[in-house]
């Protein structure tokens, strides 16, 4: 077993002691760099009532490079593609070592509340969001009921 960076241990301890509301984080047994995450859909969003599974992986270079995060639950969102990849600046060029797992999860949760169709990963969904937002929100809510209900 390699030395686990103190930083990761500290972040995990903080997540356990002071959990993020609406987000459960579990370490995958035997690998402190790999987490299963269950995120509750934010209230007042089409994802409300849903419980979304994500995987979060901390690469060797962490915290110099961002965590790898993706949704395992199928969802209808302009910034999340069919493979569950997430278009979020802090997971790409806006990453900073000052950010933490907690910040990343809060940012993803905020993205569910405020989709950004102008920076899409799923172009078809973004197009729907721009041309008929009401329909897009109804579809997102229907997918939430279908794929993210527990």
Q: What is the pLDDT along the chain (150 residues), one digit of tens a residue?
A: 456 689 999 999 999 999 999 999 999 988 989 999 999 999 999 999 999 999 999 999 999 999 999 999 999 999 999 999 999 999 999 999 999 999 999 999 999 999 999 999 999 999 999 999 999 999 999 999 999 996
Catalytic status, residue 77: no
> Reduced to 3 states, what is the DSSP secondary structure of residue 149?
coil
- Does residue 125 lie within any of the structural domains? yes
- Does residue 47 lie within any of the structural domains? yes
Distance from the Cα of residue 70 to its chain's centroid: 6
Tell me which residue range forms the domain holding 123.
6-147
User: Could you tell me the CATH number of the domain that includes residue 82?
Assistant: 3.10.110.10
List C-alpha distances in Å: 12 to 19, 23, 33, 108. 10, 13, 10, 18
- Residue of 87, 108, 121, 136 with catalytic role: 87
pTM value is 0.93
Strand order in the sheet with 68-71: 23-28, 31-40, 51-57, 68-71
Give how many domains the chain has, as a whole number.
1
């Amino acid at each position: 077993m390699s030395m686990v960076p103190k930083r990761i241990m500290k972040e995990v301890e903080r997540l356990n002691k002071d959990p993020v509301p609406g987000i459960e984080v579990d370490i995958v047994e035997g690998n402190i760099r790999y987490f299963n995450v269950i995120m509750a859909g934010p209230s007042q969003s089409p994802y409300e009532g849903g419980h979304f599974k994500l995987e979060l992986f901390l690469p060797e270079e962490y915290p110099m490079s961002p965590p790898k995060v993706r949704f395992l639950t199928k969802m209808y969102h302009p910034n999340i593609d069919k493979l569950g990849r997430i278009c979020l600046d802090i997971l790409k060029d806006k990453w900073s070592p000052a950010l933490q797992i907690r910040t990343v999860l809060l940012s993803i949760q905020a993205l569910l509340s405020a989709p950004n169709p102008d920076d899409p990963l799923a172009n078809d969904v973004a197009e729907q969001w721009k041309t008929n937002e009401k329909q897009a929100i109804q579809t997102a809510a229907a997918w939430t009921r279908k794929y993210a209900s527990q």
